[in-house]
């Protein structure tokens, strides 16, 4: 079994925690939720890809043509049936930005996880320090995109101009897990960089040692 430094073990643990937290946040509909003690709420909960309503109409439907209840995919046909296009209301610019940035961050996180599995299980890499540097950069990009998405949603998600009854809405546990995932992404990126520097120092020390041995051998001759 290949010996791994404490920095690499910690980086792998942080990456695993980041992946689990981010995956759950990415796929669950609890970024924003309504207080269940408020029985008159139209809104129930939402995630990046799913919305749940108790009973809501399009705010631009002045004829009260259609009400929506239950959970649906945000890109469901029913939200853009031509008569009461609710999708424009559901997907304001800040929410589309949140979806896009968090998806990009998750993709980079997935690439990092695949890279780690390849390095640890499949491939023998001559220069591991370059692999650690690449993983650090990938995790940095993941953390940057996901953190930006969380900041945008944290500022605008509970906005009074979006979901109904904003005084009874709150940022829920899926959003909290997204923030936790961001934290561990930053930690993993830093630790992979630390591992890179450790390997660079080892490489430099080994190079100097080999040079000294060659000089000593030449001196005997």
Q: What is the pLDDT of residues 19-46, one digit of tens each?
A: 999 999 999 999 999 987 777 778 889 9
**What would the pLDDT profile of 58-85 be if each residue is shown by its tens digit?**
666 655 566 777 888 988 887 776 555 6
> Residue 136: inside a domain, yes or no?
yes
Q: The domain spanning residue 95 has which CATH number?
A: 1.20.140.150
> Residue 50: inside a domain, yes or no?
yes
Say which residue, 208 or 204, is predicted with more confidence.
204
> Residue 200: inside a domain, yes or no?
yes
> Residue 179: inside a domain, yes or no?
yes
CA distances from 146 to 25, 105, 118, 151, 178 (A): 11, 5, 24, 9, 8
CA angle 150, 43, 34 (to 5 degrees): 60
Question: How confident is residue 220, by pLDDT bands cut at 50, 70 and 90?
Answer: low
Taking residues 45-55, report their average pLDDT.
Answer: 90
Rounded to whole angstroms, how far apart are CA atoms 104 and 108? 6
Rounded to whole angstroms, how far apart are CA atoms 26 and 20? 10
Q: Which domain holds residue 39?
A: 6-220
CA distances from 154 to 31, 66, 90 (A): 10, 30, 16
Say which residue, 200 or 17, is predicted with more confidence.
17
> Residue 1: inside a domain, yes or no?
no
- Token output for 199: 């390997």
**What would the pLDDT profile of 138-197 be if each residue is shown by its tens digit?**
999 999 999 999 999 999 998 888 888 888 899 999 999 999 999 999 999 999 999 888
Q: Is 6 exposed, middle or buried (0-12, 13-18, 19+ CB in 10 A)?
A: exposed
Q: Is 69 left (phi over 0), alpha (psi -120 to 50) or beta?
A: beta
**What would the pLDDT profile of 71-123 be if each residue is shown by its tens digit?**
889 888 877 765 556 788 888 999 999 999 999 999 999 999 999 988 877 65
Q: Is the pLDDT of residue 214 over 60?
A: no
CA angle 166, 171, 174 (to 5 degrees): 140
Rounded to whole angstroms, how far apart are CA atoms 17 and 184? 7
Q: Name the pTM for this structure.
A: 0.84
In the chain, the number of structural domains is: 1
> Residue 191: inside a domain, yes or no?
yes
Query: Contact 51/72 with Cβ under 8 angstroms?
Result: yes
- 64 phi and psi angles, rounded to 5 deg: 55, 45
> Residue 142: inside a domain, yes or no?
yes
- The pLDDT, as a whole number, for residue 1 is 42
- The pLDDT, as a whole number, for residue 122 is 67
Q: Which residues pair with 33 in a beta bridge?
A: 45, 170
């Amino acid at each position: 079994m290949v010996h791994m430094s404490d920095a690499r073990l910690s980086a792998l643990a942080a990456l695993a925690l980041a992946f689990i937290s981010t995956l759950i946040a990415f796929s669950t509909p609890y970024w924003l939720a309504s207080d269940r003690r408020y029985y008159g709420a139209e809104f129930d909960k939402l995630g990046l890809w799913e919305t749940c309503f108790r009973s809501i109409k399009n705010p631009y439907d002045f004829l009260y043509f259609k009400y929506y209840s239950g959970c649906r995919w945000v890109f469901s046909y029913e939200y853009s049936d031509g008569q009461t296009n609710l999708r424009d209301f559901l997907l304001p610019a800040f929410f589309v930005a949140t979806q896009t940035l968090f998806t990009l961050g998750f993709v980079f996180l997935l690439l990092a996880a695949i890279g780690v599995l390849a390095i640890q299980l499949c491939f023998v890499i001559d220069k591991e320090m370059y692999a650690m540097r690449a993983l650090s950069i990938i995790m940095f990009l993941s953390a940057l995109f996901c953190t930006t998405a969380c900041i945008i949603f944290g500022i605008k998600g509970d906005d009074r101009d979006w979901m109904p009854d904003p005084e009874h809405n709150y940022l829920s546990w899926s959003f909290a897990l997204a923030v936790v995932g961001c934290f561990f992404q930053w930690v993993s990126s830093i630790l992979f960089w630390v591992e890179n520097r450790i390997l660079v120092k080892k490489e430099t020390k080994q190079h100097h040692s080999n040079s000294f041995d060659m000089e000593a051998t030449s001196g005997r001759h």
